[in-house]
Structure 1
Amino acid sequence: MSLGKRWLILSHGFNMDGRAASQTITDKIPYLLEAGIKPTVFSAITGIKDRRFPHQQFLAWGPAAFRFDFRHWIANQYGRGIFYKVTTGLVSLFLAPFIALEKLCLGYSSQWSWAMPAFVNGLKLIKNQEIDVIYSTGGAWSAHLAGLWLKKKTGLPWIAEIHDPLVIRHHPQDQGFDKPSNRDAQFRKYLERQICKYADDVWWFTDGALHYARTRNPVLNTLGGARGFMVLPGAEPPGGLYAAKPHTYSDKLNLCHFGSLANNRSLSTILNALTPLLKKYPEARQFMRVHAYGAPLDSLTIAAQSSFGFEEVLIAHGRLEKDPLTGKSGREQVLERMQAADVLILLHGDEEWCAEYIPSKFYEYLWTGRPIWAITHRNDQLDKMLQERGAYLSAEGDTNSVAKALEAIWLDWQSKQLIEPKWLPIGVDQAVKQILNDIDFNQQERQ
């Protein structure tokens, strides 16, 4: 017996700002609809309301989340001008003592209270026999909390999609068994246990995340617990791209990074490696260009740029907006820059949780057909996928491997023989197919 087709999708950030947590679920919707799923979506008011199916948006009931949601709603409705500054300032001032009290008494992340309206309104639909399956996805863990409450109250099938690890480990020997120091982390650990016990099916996005969750929760994949599995989320082809385009070499070697930067995911790693390269190949300075798109530079990158005098080497483009001359959207321009890049830079990070995390940008990069230079940290699954396709690969913190990769890129570019990766993109369609097949199989196993 298969699960019913009427799914209640709990997603706090649905249709919100093109964020990865939003795209992970919104990109699945066309394939779910194609499979006959009839969704009802509950989300915060921070995103754009979908008109293809019932989509209810709720303000969170806690003061911190209310302030966060209100700011985004005002920005979406009226922009970030004077009206935004005045209204959000007044609301923040009014809510300040209540937010302080909430933090003192609970100490949870701000969005936790969105679970309350999601639960109350979800319960109404279930009592009216309008829902067959509860599907929580996040991102924000409030969606899973609402899913847990609804499961316990109604007994309906509950499937959960975990974007990022709920328990953050701090070193390779740390399995996540120790009691976390702050209350939000303690609650996330409790929530992981509850998901592994009460959900019907739950999936993570990496082998590492599934491994550590199973280590902490032996009930997973037993008769008394949830069925857990791993799904590669994939990405939709940017701009409808379904084939790699022939590359045209220019008079510059363009290394391009797209997305956010931070001190633990910093282009300073590359600038530091560029210094010894220029000592060996001084002429490279006039040809080498490192481009940063989509976000401000992190402080380490800014310091390295200034220290080494790389103002002409590192070019920060920021967020690309609609071009009034060509009419091209920022997204269209990003796609063009990705395809034109000689090499795409993928920065993984340097924290232990990288073993359980694959950047969503990796899946977008695969659709461009351009070689990737990935600087990764303790993630064999990511390394294997890169090696299978052909990539420049370095280990985070290994200055020698970073320097060698940069030199290889320089020499390959000079001879116009940069790696031509295999065309093996990973789409969202395969993720939806696997999810539907696995939960259907698991449901039959339970009969």
Structure 2
Amino acid sequence: MKSERRWLILSYFSRIDGMACAQHIDDRLPYFEKNGISPVLLTSICGTCHEGVIQKRVPSVAPSGIRYELRHLRKRSAWVKMIAPLINVILLPFYLIEKLIIDLDSQWSWFPLAIMRGISLCRRYRPEVIYSTGGPASAHVAAALISRTTGIPFIAEFQDPLVHGDWLRSRRALRVFTWLERFICERASAVIFLTDEARKNAQSRTNLGAKGHVIYPGANPFDLSGPLRHKGEFCRFSHFGSLGGSRNLVVFLEALRLVFSEHPELTEVIRLDLYGSCDGRSRRSIEEFPWPQVVQDHGRIPRTESLAVMRRTDVLLLIQNTEEFSAETIPSKVYEYFHAARPILGLVHHNQELREMLEVRGERPVSADDPRDVSAGIVHYVQLWRLSDLNISKACTHYDVSSAVDRLVRINREGFSAPLRANLGAMAKVSIIIVSYNSLHETTAPCLESIFSRTDYDNYEVIVVDNASKDGTPDYLRQLAAREKRLVCILNETNRGFAGGNNDAIKAATGDVLVLLNSDTVVTRGWLAKLVEPLRDKSIGMVGPVTNSVGNEQRIFSAGATVEEILAEGERWTDTADSGLFETERLGFFCVAFRREVTERIGLLDEGFGLGFYEDDDYCIRVRKAGYRIVCREDVFVYHRGGGSFGKMSATARALIKRNRQLLEAKHGITYRPRHPRDRQLDLAEQYLQGFAGGGDEFLLHKCHGRLKVAETSVPRGYVKRLLFRRRMRALQNVLLRYDAALAKGGEGVTKGKNGR
């Protein structure tokens, strides 16, 4: 039985091919049904009707609107196409009089009938809320007046800013739209913006208060089951969508000229594919371009076909309008690009929000009005193309239509209160993800046994992805899954590598927190709850434990010949340590925890790194670019053997490390030189001594001993570096010896630790 919950939705545009405003509401309708809401749609007559949806269409009453609607109707009807010229001739004098007296956009012409029909629909269907969306302001004003008449609350969603710099050319228009914005914001129960910049600017001009919310519209996820495009003869940059006005090819083609002047050989490498309509300015730029073989204009193609073509290109080209209000808008095409899981070269105009969205996903934003910057971006992606197939699977899991509608419905359900904030519950579900490759008895089995026997956290699942092991691992996992209901197995037929295997599990995970755990680890009691707890701080993006073997400052000691000895030392450390956190630039991905929202924001692990190495460094860089902190929790110890996920592939490791380092540096445009682990060990030892001197626990001295011992295992080779290292080490050891001596004499002047040692 169909739900009786109704929403009245006003949108001037609906089901008009190639129009983003129409696509916006068209994509959302099915998800209202999934939320138990039956939409009642009120639109103009420009588009076609939706099947299975209550839809009422109203015509325009003014000459400008009638002329505009005829342009769309003649595309669908032969008889309208025949009589349209005659109607336009008849309307011409009335149209000129209208423009002389009123001079409003044609979309206002449906406004009177939309109000009358909307009131009628409210009386008939009794919707719980009125929702106006789309570019034209007429839908929002009509919704406000319908709401005022019927008493039904309404939500306004601004796809485009009502007040922007372009109105400075017309003082009358600026006054009108400033008043309209204030009118809508005052009467709406909630106002949805597509960017935070638009919300802030509207809030500065109106009494918006807490009614303003930001919901990124997103796109429908792609079918990612097919193979990605493999590297061909050319590095193809592809633009999808119309090119017109300030969104044109002028700057990009000028950048290509610069590239070809400095790298003539790239004329045989780079190709530009255009899918969509071009206005005269872009077409002239193409005609004047000296290398005609580089540009291929495919014209408009159906949307369903364009989505498949996106998946097969090398680099997606995003060109933003260079208008005054560009800082407040994000091109709708960017969300489809995110779901296509292909690299993106984004020409961005004064829009920090869009720039950050691209950067945190590892994309390359460049200035839309700077040919030199654009040319650097082109060369950047050509270098990546030469290093790899550019098969970087980063399909978006956050910017989707379903999530947008869920948020919209939640705003209504929660009574139009404060803006939405994510919340990690007291016992949030955790998905523990393990990638295995052979070494069943040496690593995988002990790892899983330790999880199920030592995890004292109730709400978790374990997802194991096996990368085509040949040693009986798949059979073992099937048998274990039959006994352990928390275990989910994904058995790959090919080796998907570290990033690919983890991505498979992330897509299948149902937890609010994701933990990537190597198969060559053994966990200790209390590990999971302690790792999850810091993630309640929204500024923290990732958390990792301390360990016995890793290439950074998470390594706390080097003693112990057996697993039992190492675990005993690790438990000694964690039993007496406080819950101290220290910040770091990177974590070893032998064990790392992060909230689902982090991977939804920045994307999956980059599969362009192949079987392994540097994909963890890349992810840490992306997390920090997104503004999150990365921390290590010192009272959580996880044993790490090393090499378990890679099995017998160490023969190719050296070449893979070299290649992936080049890929990382090319991707982020950096020379990657993280601070050496031995220097970080000394940094932490110094912090412990300072904390102890300030009245801290005596266990800080025990931790300091461990850090200094680890640092001694990697003395620099160079004479100067070795001299400076020895000098700093000696200074720290002298201070440590003085504190040890003071404790031995009874702790005079020294604060005793919580364990009384």
Residue number in structure 2 paired with 1:319:
300
Per-residue deviation, residues 109-144 of structure 1 (Å, max 9, x unmatched): 011021111111121233446333211111222211
For residues 79-94 of structure 1, what are the structure 2 equivalents within 5 Å?
Answer: 83-94=79-90
Report the Cα distance in structure 2 between the residues aligned to 1:29 and 1:87, rounded to whole angstroms.
34
Per-residue deviation, residues 375-430 of structure 1 (Å, max 9, x unmatched): 10121211111111111221122233212111112222233364826332421011
Report deviation, 1:244.
7.7
Amino acid at match of 1:248: H
Alignment of 1:307 onto 2:288: yes
Per-residue deviation, residues 271-299 of structure 1 (Å, max 9, x unmatched): 21122222222111122111111112541
Report the Cα distance in structure 1 between the residues aligned to 2:279 and 2:63, rounded to whole angstroms.
32
Residue number in structure 2 paired with 1:220:
208
Report the Cα distance in structure 2 between the residues aligned to 1:229 and 1:357, rounded to whole angstroms.
15
Report the Cα distance in structure 2 between the residues aligned to 1:213 and 1:68, rounded to whole angstroms.
30
User: Which range moved further: 305-314 or 383-392?
Assistant: 305-314
Residue number in structure 1 paired with 2:249:
267
Q: 1:417 to 1:18 in 2, by over 3 A?
A: closer
Q: 1:44 to 1:281 in 2, by over 3 A?
A: same
Report deviation, 1:108.
0.7
Per-residue deviation, residues 341-371 of structure 1 (Å, max 9, x unmatched): 1100000122221100100000011111110
The SS at the match of 1:138 is: coil
Report the Cα distance in structure 2 between the residues aligned to 1:431 and 1:165, rounded to whole angstroms.
19
Aligned partners of 1:371 and 1:421 also within 8 Å: no
For residues 7-156 of structure 1, what are the structure 2 equivalents within 5 Å?
Answer: 7-78=7-78, 83-128=79-124, 130-156=126-152
Report the Cα distance in structure 2 between the residues aligned to 1:376 and 1:118, rounded to whole angstroms.
37
Aligned partners of 1:391 and 1:421 also within 8 Å: no
Q: 1:237 to 1:423 in 2, by over 3 A?
A: closer
Fraction of identical pairs, as percent: 33
Q: 1:44 to 1:181 in 2, by over 3 A?
A: same
Report the Cα distance in structure 1 between the residues aligned to 2:230 and 2:371, rounded to whole angstroms.
30
Report the Cα distance in structure 2 between the residues aligned to 1:312 and 1:250, rounded to whole angstroms.
17
Aligned partners of 2:40 and 2:53 also within 8 Å: yes
Amino acid at match of 1:214: Q
Report the Cα distance in structure 2 between the residues aligned to 1:113 and 1:308, rounded to whole angstroms.
43
Per-residue deviation, residues 308-353 of structure 1 (Å, max 9, x unmatched): 4121111111112xxxxxxxxx334322321111100000122221
Residue number in structure 1 paired with 2:427:
none
The SS at the match of 1:289 is: strand
Per-residue deviation, residues 66-117 of structure 1 (Å, max 9, x unmatched): 2222332232233xxxx44431111111111111121122111011021111
Residue number in structure 2 paired with 1:430:
403
Aligned partners of 2:258 and 2:372 also within 8 Å: no
Alignment of 1:356 onto 2:328: yes
Residue number in structure 2 paired with 1:323:
none
Report the Cα distance in structure 2 between the residues aligned to 1:418 and 1:395, rounded to whole angstroms.
23
Unaligned runs of 5+ residues in structure 1 are 171-175, 321-329
The SS at the match of 1:312 is: helix
Alignment of 1:208 onto 2:204: no
Aligned partners of 2:245 and 2:279 also within 8 Å: no
For residues 390-429 of structure 1, what are the structure 2 equivalents within 5 Å?
Answer: 390-416=362-388, 418=390, 420=392, 422-425=394-397, 426-429=399-402
Report the Cα distance in structure 2 between the residues aligned to 1:66 and 1:308, rounded to whole angstroms.
40
Q: 1:242 to 1:5 in 2, by over 3 A?
A: farther
User: Which range moved further: 400-409 or 337-346?
Assistant: 400-409
Amino acid at match of 1:153: T
TM-score, structure 1 as length reference = 0.87
Report the Cα distance in structure 2 between the residues aligned to 1:263 and 1:272, rounded to whole angstroms.
17
The SS at the match of 1:365 is: helix
Aligned partners of 1:390 and 1:419 also within 8 Å: no
Aligned partners of 1:377 and 1:395 also within 8 Å: yes
Alignment of 1:246 onto 2:228: yes
Q: 1:443 to 1:352 in 2, by over 3 A?
A: closer
Alignment of 1:367 onto 2:331: no
Report deviation, 1:193.
0.7
Report deviation, 1:51.
2.9
Report the Cα distance in structure 2 between the residues aligned to 1:48 and 1:185, rounded to whole angstroms.
33
Higher RCO, 1 vs 2 (CA within 8 Å, ≥6 residues apart): 1
Aligned partners of 2:347 and 2:366 also within 8 Å: yes
Amino acid at match of 1:69: E
Alignment of 1:236 onto 2:235: no
CA RMSD for the aligned pairs?
Answer: 2.2
Amino acid at match of 2:406: K
Amino acid at match of 1:215: S
Report the Cα distance in structure 1 between the residues aligned to 2:416 and 2:178, rounded to whole angstroms.
27
Report the Cα distance in structure 2 between the residues aligned to 1:186 and 1:109, rounded to whole angstroms.
15
Amino acid at match of 2:73: W
Q: 1:157 to 1:404 in 2, by over 3 A?
A: same
Report the Cα distance in structure 2 between the residues aligned to 1:31 and 1:129, rounded to whole angstroms.
20
Aligned residues: 414
Aligned partners of 2:157 and 2:193 also within 8 Å: yes
Amino acid at match of 1:407: V
Report the Cα distance in structure 1 between the residues aligned to 2:147 and 2:226, rounded to whole angstroms.
45
The SS at the match of 1:8 is: strand
Residue number in structure 2 paired with 1:181:
170
Alignment of 1:334 onto 2:318: no
- Higher CA-based Rg: 2
Amino acid at match of 2:400: G
Q: 1:74 to 1:350 in 2, by over 3 A?
A: closer
Q: 1:399 to 1:72 in 2, by over 3 A?
A: closer
Report the Cα distance in structure 1 between the residues aligned to 2:325 and 2:225, rounded to whole angstroms.
33
Match of 1:441 among 409, 414, 417: 414
Report the Cα distance in structure 1 between the residues aligned to 2:289 and 2:126, rounded to whole angstroms.
63
Q: 1:51 to 1:246 in 2, by over 3 A?
A: closer
Unaligned runs of 5+ residues in structure 2 are 419-757
Per-residue deviation, residues 141-199 of structure 1 (Å, max 9, x unmatched): 221121121122222111111111111225xxxxx8x7x61645543322211111001
The SS at the match of 2:318 is: strand
Report deviation, 1:233.
0.2
Report the Cα distance in structure 1 between the residues aligned to 2:143 and 2:245, rounded to whole angstroms.
35
Aligned partners of 1:112 and 1:142 also within 8 Å: yes
The SS at the match of 2:410 is: helix
Amino acid at match of 1:255: F
